[in-house]
């Protein structure tokens, strides 16, 4: 019987987001030549769990509660030892880590245990807009050291590769392989009209109202205050009926509600007697295919991103986009064809572009229709698993199938 290639996959934590989907699909769908064990930390209290993703795929990961985002010497030592013990028992040929804390502890443990191949995927980075200069330099130095301990670094876009190698000098370009994310996008094309009707009935959206959404954690890096500034601009200018939906939750929610009050924008939380207002805070909604079907336009205002999954999903749902120019945005959209792109914090330009989509039904429809053709193969999980299998085989110096 042919010996399987063993892959230990380690992710920061099992919260709802692109990295979890990526790690889950790679755990589930690599060919029968591979055996994969998935390990990760617990989600934080304010985050939505990704357990439903893992359950749907029939995955039973090992959870290490001590592997947390913040630096904590005691917890980090415990998590590091647990990873070493897992490596000792599982004997992987490849350790593949996803995101920063998993990348730190996993790569150190893999090197200590002399694992043949060590791969790390940057889903995003913290090299700007997160911390001050000193702390940013500290994290860059850690990543430079860890890159030396890695057989290969994976970037999820050409833009991210250039940022890592040329701008932040984490490692040389030749050490970086570009492997775009991959998803099961077919659900975004299923039963669209039924989902649209259901979503709009749930949130009392009239058929002649334009529904605009922003999807993601309510944290500073996502820059929702810019979104609220844009809403204030739009409501002063539009001739159409418009509603805005903030989909997600997090530590910034109360300050965002306060900012709505400052801007004199009416808002509601949907558990607040289901009152209709200009802005609705929905909290987390798991069925994003249902959400996207009901929306007309999807936005992103982030200060920093890796590959924004919400924009891939928007295009899979035939929805036009207005977004800030961050991370891999220009690698995952077609500028002026599926998405209008503005610079960070340029409220006037962002508002102008969003207003075009709100006011002009034809532009909105035309841009939306181009999305599915662009993303359906480029970001499929089948393409993802094929790319990663080929990379593993190359790094292990094994013949390809």
Predicted pLDDT at 69: 77
Bridge partner residues of 73 (DSSP): none
Considering only CA atoms, which of 287, 233, 288, 232 is closest in space to residue 256?
Answer: 232
Residue 387 has pLDDT above 80, yes or no: yes
Give the pLDDT band of residue 48 (cuts 50, 70, 90). Answer: low
Higher-confidence residue of 95 and 54: namely 95
Give the pLDDT band of residue 135 (cuts 50, 70, 90). Answer: confident
Predicted pLDDT at 100: 85
Give the pLDDT band of residue 327 (cuts 50, 70, 90). Answer: confident
* Predicted confidence (pLDDT) per residue in 92-127, tens digit: 999 999 988 899 999 999 999 999 999 999 986 656
Strands 62-63 and 94-98: unpaired
Predicted pLDDT at 102: 93
Q: What is the mean pLDDT of the chain?
A: 92
Higher-confidence residue of 208 and 270: namely 208
Give the pLDDT band of residue 45 (cuts 50, 70, 90). Answer: low
CATH code reported for the domain at 5-184+380-395: 3.40.50.2000
Q: Do domains 5-184+380-395 and 186-375 have the same CATH topology?
A: yes
Residue 224 has pLDDT above 90, yes or no: yes
Q: What are the sequence ranges of the domains in the chain?
A: 5-184+380-395, 186-375
For domain 186-375, the CATH superfamily is: Glycogen Phosphorylase B; (3.40.50.2000)
Residue 133 has pLDDT above 90, yes or no: no
Predicted pLDDT at 328: 84
> Can you give the pTM of this predicted structure?
0.81
Predicted pLDDT at 366: 97
* Predicted confidence (pLDDT) per residue in 229-277, tens digit: 999 999 999 999 999 999 999 999 999 999 999 999 999 998 766 789 9
Residue 381 has pLDDT above 70, yes or no: yes
* Predicted confidence (pLDDT) per residue in 155-172, tens digit: 988 888 999 999 889 999
């Amino acid at each position: 019987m042919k010996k399987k290639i063993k892959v230990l996959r380690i992710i920061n934590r099992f919260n709802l987001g692109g990295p979890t989907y990526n790690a889950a699909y790679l755990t589930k769908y690599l060919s029968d030549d591979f055996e994969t064990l998935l390990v990760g930390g617990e989600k934080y209290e304010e985050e939505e769990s990704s357990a439903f993703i893992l359950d749907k795929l029939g995955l039973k990961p090992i959870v290490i509660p001590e592997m947390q985002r913040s630096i904590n010497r005691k917890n980090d030592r415990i998590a590091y030892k647990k990873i070493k013990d897992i490596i000792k028992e599982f004997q992987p040929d490849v350790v593949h880590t996803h995101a920063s804390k998993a990348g730190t502890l996993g790569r150190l443990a893999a090197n200590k245990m002399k694992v043949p191949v060590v791969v790390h995927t940057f889903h995003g980075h913290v090299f700007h807009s997160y911390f001050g200069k000193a702390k940013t330099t500290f994290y860059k130095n850690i990543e430079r050291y860890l890159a030396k301990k890695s057989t290969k670094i994976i970037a999820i876009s050409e833009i991210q590769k250039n940022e890592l190698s040329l701008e932040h000098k984490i490692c040389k370009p030749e050490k970086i392989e570009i492997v775009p994310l991959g998803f099961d996008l077919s659900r975004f094309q299923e039963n669209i009209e039924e989902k649209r009707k259901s979503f709009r009935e749930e949130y009392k959206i009239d058929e002649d109202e334009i529904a605009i959404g922003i999807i993601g954690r309510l944290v500073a890096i996502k820059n929702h205050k810019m979104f609220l500034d844009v809403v204030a601009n739009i409501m002063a200018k539009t001739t159409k009926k418009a509603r805005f939906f903030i989909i997600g939750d997090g530590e910034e929610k109360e300050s965002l509600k306060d900012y709505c009050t400052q801007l004199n924008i009416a808002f509601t939380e949907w558990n607040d007697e289901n009152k209709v207002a200009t802005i609705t805070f929905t909290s987390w909604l798991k069925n994003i295919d249902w959400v996207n079907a009901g929306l007309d336009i999807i936005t992103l205002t982030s200060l920093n991103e890796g590959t924004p999954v919400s924009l891939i999903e928007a295009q899979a749902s035939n929805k036009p986009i207005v977004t800030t120019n961050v991370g891999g945005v220009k690698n995952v959209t077609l500028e002026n064809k599926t998405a209008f792109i503005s610079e960070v914090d340029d409220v006037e330009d962002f508002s102008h572009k969003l207003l075009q989509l709100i006011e002009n039904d034809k532009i909105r429809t035309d841009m939306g229709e181009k999305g599915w053709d662009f993303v359906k193969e480029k970001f499929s999980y089948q393409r993802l698993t094929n790319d990663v299998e080929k990379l593993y085989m190359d790094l292990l110096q094994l013949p390809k199938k």
